Amino acid sequence: AHYAQQQLVCAACGCVLAEGLLTTTYADEEHLREVAYSQSTGQKEQLSRCLLRGIRRVQDLCKVLQLPTVFEETAVSYFQRALQHPSFHLVSLEKKELLGGCCVFVTCRQHNWPLTMGTICSLLYAKQELFAGVYLSLQKELELSVPALSLADLVTTHLNSFQLFQHGADIPAAFVEDKEKMVARTMQMVELASETWLVTGRHPIPVVTAAAFLAWQSLQPAGRLTCPFARFCKLAGVDLPPPAHLRLKELLDILLRMASQLAWLKVFKLDKKTVVKHIGDLLQHRIFLLKNAFCLEGEEEQRAAGEGSAGESSPSSPAPSGEAAQEPSAGKRQREGGRRPLLPPCLLNPRKRLRTAALSPADAALTGDEPISDSEMEQYLRSPEEMRALRKAKAWP
Amino acid sequence: MDADSDVALDILITNVVCVFRTRCHLNLRKIALEGANVIYKRDVGKVLMKLRKPRITATIWSSGKVICTGATSEEEAKLGARRLARSLQKLGFQVIFTDFKVVNVLAVCNMPFEIRLPEFTKNNRPHASYEPELHPAVCYRIKTLRATLQIFSTGSITVTGPNVKAVASAVEQIYPFVFESRK
C-alpha cells in the first residue's frame, strides 16, 4: 500500500527531529489518495501475467461496448473462474484471447443485452468457428445458463446503428425517417416473420435487416419503392448480409398471401413492389389475415374430406338445393386453392434427398456371424499382372 | 393427438461406426500394393479400404487397429469388419479378429409435426442448447444414454449414440418433450 510517514522537522535547519511514528489512525491516513487494488502493485504480484492481460482485455471490451460496470465485474469473475478450470488453463493463447470475449458475450446475454456473435467476433478479430467452440465449452464447464437472444431488443439496437434518422450529405431528403416509427414497424414485421417460421433456426440479423428495409419502404412508398436493398444498406451505413435477400423474398411472399385475403385488396393484382404500399394495413390485421391465408395441414385434410362427402351427397338431393350446395363448396375450394400450409420454407419446396432404402428382408436377417467364402474375398486382391504393372508405374522397389 | 397414443416412428440408421484389432502389425505398403479398392495415405500413415458389400469404408493403421464406417446396422457392421479381416488374411497377414466394438450409431427420425425451437429450449434447460447464430437446430444431450440429438424446426431429428438401443431409447425419451412444443 502507498503510505506516507510523518516526520517532525526543524523549521530552521531542516533536520529530522522525530520519525517512525507509525500510526494507523484514520485521522493520519485521511489525506492519502485512494488507490484501487487493481491498479496497485498488490494485484500484479498475486495474479499471473496471462490472467492480468486477459482481465485487461475484458475491461477494454466492456469499455468499447459501453457496458454498465456490473457487466464488467461479472465478466471478469467468469474469466477468472474459467482460467482456473483445467480445460481452459492449458489451451493456446489464441483461445485464451477468445475466452475473454466469450465471458463478455455470456454476461450480455444473461442481462438481455442484445450483443450478437458477429459483433464480438469482429471486435476480437476471431474466426466464428473457434469462437463457437470456446463459447460452448465455457457454457458447459462453468454450467452457465444463457438465455436466448431477445429479438425485440436486437431490433432496437440494430436500428440504432442505421444512419437514416438524420439529414446528411449523402442521404436524399425523402429517405430520412423517424426513428420511433421505423422501430415500431420493424418490430411488427419481425413478429410477423417469427409467426410464419422465417426466424426459427436462422441468423437473426438478416431477418431484422430485411424487415427494416420493408418497414422503411412502406412508411413513405412514393419516393422509396425504386430504391434497391443494397443501396438502402449502403445509405444506412450497415452491412448487407447474404441471407437477407432470401429473407426479403420470403417476407414478401407471406405479405402477398396475406394481401390476397384482404377485402379491398383482392381486386388489385399485387406484386412484390405494390404490396409494400399496403404493409401498414396488412400488419394491422395480421392475426386475422394469417388465419385466413394459411391453414394447418390437419385442417386442410379434414376440410377436403368434408367437401368430398358434401359433393357425394348433392346429386341425390333435388336440383336447386343441390346446385346451392355445390356453389359454396366450389367457392370454398377456390379459396382453399389459394391457401397453403404454414410451414418452414425448407418444407415447402423439399429438395429430393437420396435416402438409403429400408432394409430388405435378407438384410434384416443378418446376424453378422455368417461364414465368408474365399471367392468373395478374391475381388479385393490384385492379380499378379496388376501388381507388376503397378510396381513398374510407381517404380516401387 | 395424444402423446401417449402409439405413434410408429421410423428411425432410419444412416451410419454405424465400429472398431476392431488384428493383433498383428500390418504392412501398409503391402496392402496398398496387393489390395484392390485401396487408397494409401502415406502422410498420415493409414490405408483406406472400401468394401462393396456391405458398403463399408475401413481405415487401417499399421498397429493393427481398424475403424469401419458406412454400415446401416450393427450386424452389417460386424459382417463388414469380418470380411475386411478376412481380406487382410488373404493378403498374408496373421490376422486375429478381436476387440470388435460398435462405437457410434447415427440415425435420423422424422416427427409428423413442426417444433417451436425457442419454446422447446426454454422448457428443457439445461439439456437443450439453441444458438441460431451457430446452428439451426437445438442440441439436446442425454447424459445417461450418452446420446446427442439435433432437433430441427421441421420435425427432423438426428440422433447419435453408442449403440442402436441407446438411439432408440433416446428417441422414445425425447418424444414427449418435443410433442409439448409442437406447432
CATH classification of the domain holding B91: 3.30.310.10
Question: In this predicted structure, which of A25-39, A76-90, A197-211, B57-71 has the lowest mean pLDDT?
Answer: A25-39
**Does the distance separating the beta carbons of B131 and A132 come in below 8 Å?**
yes
Chosen for mutation from B15, B31, B34, B56 (greatest number of chain A CBs closer than 10 Å) is B34
Region of residue A29 (left: phi > 0; alpha: psi -120 to 50; beta: else): alpha
Question: In this predicted structure, which of A68-82, A183-197, A332-346, B130-144 has the lowest mean pLDDT?
Answer: A332-346
Question: In this predicted structure, which of A50-64, A166-180, A211-225, B16-30 has the lowest mean pLDDT?
Answer: A166-180
Question: In this predicted structure, which of A296-305, A337-346, B132-141 has the lowest mean pLDDT?
Answer: A296-305
Q: Where are the domains of chain A?
A: 7-40, 49-147, 152-297
**Does the distance separating the beta carbons of B34 and A382 come in below 8 Å?**
yes
What one-character DSSP code corresponds to residue A281? H
As for how many domains chain B has, the answer is: 2
Write out the three cell numbers for A29: 491516513
ipTM of the complex: 0.80
Q: Which of B12, B35, B77 is opposite residue A355, by nearest beta carbon? A: B12
Same domain, B146 and B82: no
Find all residues with CB under 8 Å of B9, minimum gap 6, and list them: B109, B110, B111, B171, B175
Does the CB of B140 have a partner CB in chain A at under 8 Å? Answer: no
CA distance B117 to B181: 8
pLDDT at A7: 77
**Does the distance separating the beta carbons of B76 and A363 come in below 8 Å?**
yes
Residue B6 domain flag? no
pLDDT at A210: 95
Same domain, B85 and B32: yes
Residue B27 domain flag? yes
Same domain, B31 and B55: yes
pLDDT at A334: 42
* Homologous superfamily assigned to A49-147: Cyclin-like (1.10.472.10)
Same domain, B82 and B22: yes
Write out the three cell numbers for A28: 493520519
Instruction: Give the confidence band of A323 by pLDDT, cuts at 50, 70, 90.
Output: very low
Q: Which of B14, B74, B154 is opposite residue A356, by nearest beta carbon? A: B14
pLDDT digits (tens, 9 = 90+) for A362-379: 666 677 777 777 777 777
Instruction: Give the confidence band of B7 by pLDDT, cuts at 50, 70, 90.
Output: low
> Is A326 a residue whose pLDDT tops 60?
no
How does the average pLDDT of chain B come out, rounded? 90
Same domain, B93 and B165: no
pLDDT digits (tens, 9 = 90+) for A248-301: 999 999 998 888 888 788 777 788 888 888 888 888 888 888 888 876 544 544
Instruction: Give the confidence band of A25 by pLDDT, cuts at 50, 70, 90.
Output: low
Does the CB of B130 have a partner CB in chain A at under 8 Å? Answer: yes
**Which residues of chain B have a CB within 8 Å of the CB of A377?**
83, 86-87, 90
Residue B92 domain flag? yes
Question: In this predicted structure, which of A75-79, A159-163, A169-173, A305-309 has the lowest mean pLDDT?
Answer: A305-309
> Is A338 a residue whose pLDDT tops 60?
no
Instruction: Give the confidence band of A168 by pLDDT, cuts at 50, 70, 90.
Output: confident
Amino acid at position B151, single letter? I
Q: Which of B33, B121, B125 is opposite residue A396, by nearest beta carbon? A: B33
pLDDT at A370: 78
Instruction: Give the confidence band of A64 by pLDDT, cuts at 50, 70, 90.
Output: very high
Q: Tell me which residue range forms the domain holding B154.
A: 111-181
pLDDT at A70: 92
pLDDT at B61: 94
> How many C-beta atoms lie closer than 10 Å to residue A386's C-beta?
13
In Å, how far is B15's CA from the nearest CA of chain A? 11
Same domain, B90 and B117: no
**Does the distance separating the beta carbons of B121 and A148 come in below 8 Å?**
yes
Same domain, B55 and B85: yes
**Which residues of chain B have a CB within 8 Å of the CB of A202?**
132, 136
From B103, B138, B159, give the residue that closes a domain: B103
pLDDT at A373: 76
> Is A396 a residue whose pLDDT tops 60?
no
- pLDDT (average), residues A207-217: 94
> Is A65 a residue whose pLDDT tops 80?
yes
From B78, B103, B128, give the residue that closes a domain: B103
Same domain, B152 and B86: no
- pLDDT (average), residues B102-126: 92
Same domain, B115 and B98: no
- pLDDT (average), residues A357-366: 62
Task: Name which residue leads in pLDDT, B136 or A396.
Answer: B136
CA distance A135 to A124: 13
Question: In this predicted structure, which of A125-134, A168-177, A345-354 has the lowest mean pLDDT?
Answer: A345-354
For residue B97, give the 3-state DSSP assignment.
coil
Residue ranges of E strands in chain B: 11-21, 38-41, 46-51, 56-61, 65-71, 98-110, 128-129, 138-142, 147-151, 156-161
Does the CB of B74 have a partner CB in chain A at under 8 Å? Answer: yes
CB pairs A-B closer than 8 Å: 112
Same domain, B118 and B40: no
How does the average pLDDT of chain A come out, rounded? 80
> Is A333 a residue whose pLDDT tops 50?
no
The phi, psi pair for A262, rounded to 5°, reads -85, 125
* Minimal-distance CA residue of chain B relative to A144: B126
Looking at mean pLDDT, say which of A305-314, A358-367, B8-17, B63-72 comes out highest. B63-72
**Does the distance separating the beta carbons of A380 and B114 come in below 8 Å?**
no
**Which residues of chain A have a CB within 8 Å of the CB of B49?**
380
**Does the distance separating the beta carbons of A347 and B130 come in below 8 Å?**
no
Same domain, B59 and B76: yes
Q: Which of A128, A366, A396 is opposite residue B73, by nearest beta carbon? A: A366
pLDDT digits (tens, 9 = 90+) for A8-18: 788 888 888 87
CA A132, distance to chain mean position in Å, is 13
Chosen for mutation from A200, A296, A356 (greatest number of chain B CBs closer than 10 Å) is A200
> Is A132 a residue whose pLDDT tops 70?
yes
Residue B8 domain flag? no
Chosen for mutation from A380, A383, A388 (greatest number of chain B CBs closer than 10 Å) is A380
Same domain, B132 and B96: no
pLDDT at B12: 92
CA distance A104 to A112: 12
pLDDT at A67: 93
> Is A186 a residue whose pLDDT tops 80?
yes
> Is B10 a residue whose pLDDT tops 80?
yes
Does the CB of B158 have a partner CB in chain A at under 8 Å? Answer: no
> Is A356 a residue whose pLDDT tops 70?
no
Region of residue A182 (left: phi > 0; alpha: psi -120 to 50; beta: else): alpha
pLDDT at A183: 94
From B58, B81, B103, give the residue that closes a domain: B103
In Å, how far is B173's CA from the nearest CA of chain A? 22
Please state, for a pLDDT cut of 70, what percent of chain A lies above it.
76
